[in-house]
Amino acid sequence: MSNLATALSWILIAAGIGFFLTGALGLLRFPDIFTRLHAVTKTDTAGMGLLAAGLAIQAADLLDTLLLLFIWFLVMGSTSISCQLLARYSLERDPIDEFSLPNEQADSIKTGISKTGSKSAQQIKPTRENATQGRGDHG
Amino acid sequence: MNSGAFYLSVGMAVFLIGLHGLLVLQDNLRRVIAVNLMGAGVFLVLVALATRTDPVDPVLQALAVTGLVVAISATAFALRLVSARIRHQQHKTKPDDGRLSSHKDKPR
Amino acid sequence: MAELVLDITLAVLLLSMAWGALHAPIINNGIGLFVAFGIVLALTWARLGAPDLALAEAAIGAGLTGVLLLHAARAIPVPTATTVMRPLQMMPSILLILLVLGLLTVITSSGPDSVFQQTPPLPDLVEERIADSGVEHPVTAVLMNFRAWDTLLELFVLLLALFGVRQLFPGQRVITRTGTQLSAADKPVKVQPWPPLMAWMGVLAPLLVLTGGYLLWHGSTAPGGAFQAGAILAAAAAVLHLIQNLPALRWSLWPVRALICGGALLFLVVAISTAWLGAGWLHYPQPGNKLLIVTIEVIATLSIAVTLALLVTGDSDDFTR
């Protein structure tokens, strides 16, 4: 493998690792579950793509490259779906209370929700009839 | 210290962390996690010892695979026991849940 | 040098996540850390040259155990019992750990008959006899032929765990006029699954079945085998259960019972017939040993898959009757 290819591969891998580290930093430092999910999933899929590209340059043959692309596709799908599931679950458990937000944010949330027609944020309260469900922290 | 010996110590440390959790914690679910950690430590010791020979020792690795499946069987049973105990304790504190109406006191 | 960095990183991750899994104040965080510990442990197995174990650990140790733990954590009532302890309370235990760890490290790693100077005789024996075993991959040969007795007992342990779990209902039963019924608090909440989730699981579940079949078939020449394949098929069942697309798994259906008991019973029948009619207990007949191993592996995979699926997703009878 030529030096240029190796160097390019390592640059891509380093960039991917940089994305992962940034996502981890966001996970630790952001205040809310939604901001944390946003940070982690976006950076993880980007980092995974860069990592897969960097490793594909060093891969032994075409089959390995295709496998890496396939892994990236699967991870991307699973990460996005999991992120959406967690966000919806958190939104159902405690809906965003528009009265606790500054006025312009509250208005934008109210109009945003009524535009998309999703009623879940405003009407579903945590009325779990079974008090036995574990309420671990969602943060 | 070669890498096998290093992972041997790591395995012993994980086993001891699990043992510490088993001794110190009171929550049953955490104790099940602690026992699983002890198992993971033992597997680390086994596989670290498997790196002694040049083609890695397949017998120790096979033992670890067997142990892993046994561990999940025991964990499934233990977790069912733990959640049954928790629900039983809750049920005892709510005595009027699901009584047959014929058992309630009739007005005289 | 790079290997040293990798080893130290893995060790730091393993130890810190093990500690965090036990001492995180919120139980779900602890379970998340334990699942992450399982995944880093799978990386460690890959580092130590044990790919079969890495596959099994990722599927069973991280995946299925995480599902079991999260399901059990739902039973814990609000508010969760805090397990945060003051460091001073834990000090005797921590000192004991450090002392024992130091002693063990010194004993096992140094000295002329330290455990690392000894050369075990078994790998050479396996190397010599692997041509007669019927498969080419050493770990599969050990699992299915040389130590088949362990695998037979392991299938029975799985069966015993299932029998134990069947003694306990997943929730509180209350007595009604017509019999017993699951109490209202423990009935599973029916939620309409989210359509993109159903679509994505529709992509994942066939891939999981394909991967399971591939691992089972490839186990004779490459890392893989019955346990890994069975665990991945059980994961496919769990995935389908999440979108409520799994056909009801009930012990009362005879195909389910046949699949669950089939693996252990087939293996037992093979063992007894080799003992009575053949060369000895679990001594496979020489020309037919590959066929025998493959048959046992296929039935064992299905058995392990259905047993683990029943353990993880629960018997559907318990929730509807």
Q: Is C26 near chain B, with CB under 8 Å?
A: no
> What is the rounded distance in angstroms from the CA atom of residue C212 to the CA atom of residue A65?
22
Number of domains forming the structure of chain A? 1
Domain boundaries, chain B: 3-94
Q: Is B11 near chain C, with CB under 8 Å?
A: no
**Position with higher pLDDT, C104 vs A120:** C104
Residue B74 pLDDT greater than 90, yes or no: yes
Domain-embedded: residue A50: yes
H helices of C24-167, in order, are 27-47, 51-56, 65-73, 87-109, 122-129, 138-141, 148-166
User: What sign has the CA pseudo-torsion C18, C19, C21, C22?
Assistant: positive
Q: Is C165 near chain B, with CB under 8 Å?
A: yes
Residue C117: per-residue pLDDT? 75
> What is the rounded distance in angstroms from the CA atom of residue C50 to the CA atom of residue C71?
30
Residue A129 pLDDT greater than 70, yes or no: no
Q: Which two tokens stand for residue A26?
A: 């966001």
Contact A134 C28 (CB under 8 A): yes
8-state DSSP, C90: H
CB C51 within 8 A of CB B65: no
- Partners of residue C181 on adjacent β-strands: C174
CB C44 within 8 A of CB C102: no
Least confident of A41-55, B22-36, C64-78, C83-97: C83-97
For residue B51, the distance in angstroms to the closest alpha carbon of chain C comes to 7
At residue A129, what is the residue type? E
Task: Examine residue C79 and say whether the peptide bond preceding it is cis (omega within 30 degrees of 0).
Answer: yes
**Position with higher pLDDT, B36 vs A134:** B36
Neighbours of B9 (CB within 10 A): 20
Neighbours of A32 (CB within 10 A): 12
Phi first, then psi: what are they for C176, rounded to 5°?
Answer: -120, 180
pLDDT, tens digit (0-9, with 9 covering 90-100), for A49-100: 999 999 999 988 899 999 999 999 999 999 999 999 889 888 887 777 655 5
Architecture of domain B3-94: Orthogonal Bundle (1.10)
CB C232 within 8 A of CB C215: yes
- A99, with CB counted inside 10 A (0-12, 13-18, 19+), is exposed
Q: Which two tokens stand for residue C251?
A: 């012990």
Mean pLDDT of B37-63: 92
pLDDT, tens digit (0-9, with 9 covering 90-100), for C261-319: 999 999 999 999 999 988 888 888 888 888 999 999 999 999 999 999 999 988 877 77
8-state DSSP, C243: T
CB B60 within 8 A of CB B44: no
CB C209 within 8 A of CB C236: yes
Domain-embedded: residue A16: yes
Contacts of A128 in chain C (CB under 8 A): 189
Measure CB to CB from residue A134 to each of C75, C184, C187 and give the nearest one.
C75
Domain-embedded: residue A100: no
- Partners of residue C175 on adjacent β-strands: C180
pLDDT, tens digit (0-9, with 9 covering 90-100), for B27-45: 899 999 999 999 999 999 9
Q: Which of A132, B28, B83 is nearest to C170 (CA)?
A: B83
The position carrying tokens 């739902």 is C74
pLDDT, tens digit (0-9, with 9 covering 90-100), for C18-53: 999 999 888 999 999 999 999 999 999 999 999 999
For residue A120, the distance in angstroms to the closest alpha carbon of chain C comes to 13
Mean pLDDT of C114-129: 83
Read off the pLDDT band of B88 (50, 70, 90): confident
> What is the rounded distance in angstroms from the CA atom of residue A55 to the CA atom of residue A105?
43
Contact B16 C52 (CB under 8 A): no
Mean pLDDT of B69-87: 93
Q: Which of C282, C289, C197, C279 is nearest to C240 (CA)?
A: C197
* Mean pLDDT computed over every residue of chain C: 88
Read off the pLDDT band of A104 (50, 70, 90): low
Read off the pLDDT band of A138 (50, 70, 90): very low
> What is the rounded distance in angstroms from the CA atom of residue B54 to the CA atom of residue B56?
6
Domain boundaries, chain C: 1-105, 135-321
Task: Identify from C95, C114, C165, C233 which residue to disrupt to test chain B contact, counting B C-beta atoms within 10 A and taking the largest count.
Answer: C165
Residue A127 pLDDT greater than 60, yes or no: no
pLDDT, tens digit (0-9, with 9 covering 90-100), for C212-271: 999 999 988 999 999 999 999 999 999 999 888 888 888 888 999 999 999 999 999 999
Residue C250 three-state SS: coil
For residue C9, the distance in angstroms to the closest alpha carbon of chain A comes to 14
Cβ neighbours of residue C318 under 8 Å, at least 6 residues apart? C169, C170, C171, C182
Contact B69 C158 (CB under 8 A): yes
H helices of A30-128, in order, are 33-57, 62-93, 103-116, 120-123
Q: Is C103 near chain B, with CB under 8 Å?
A: no
> What is the rounded distance in angstroms from the CA atom of residue C33 to the CA atom of residue C37?
6
Mean pLDDT of B54-83: 93
Neighbours of C143 (CB within 10 A): 29
Neighbours of C269 (CB within 10 A): 10
**How many residue pairs bridge chain B and chain C with CB atoms within 8 Å of each other?**
252
Q: Which of C142, C150, C71, C6 is nearest to B70 (CA)?
A: C150
**Position with higher pLDDT, C260 vs C174:** C260
> What is the rounded distance in angstroms from the CA atom of residue B65 to the CA atom of residue C139?
9
- Partners of residue C176 on adjacent β-strands: C179
Task: Identify from B46, B47, B80, B103 which residue to disrupt to test chain C contact, counting C C-beta atoms within 10 A and taking the largest count.
Answer: B80
Domain-embedded: residue A88: yes
Q: What range defines the domain where residue A84 resides?
A: 3-94
Q: Which two tokens stand for residue C74?
A: 């739902």
Residue C121 pLDDT greater than 70, yes or no: yes
Read off the pLDDT band of C112 (50, 70, 90): low
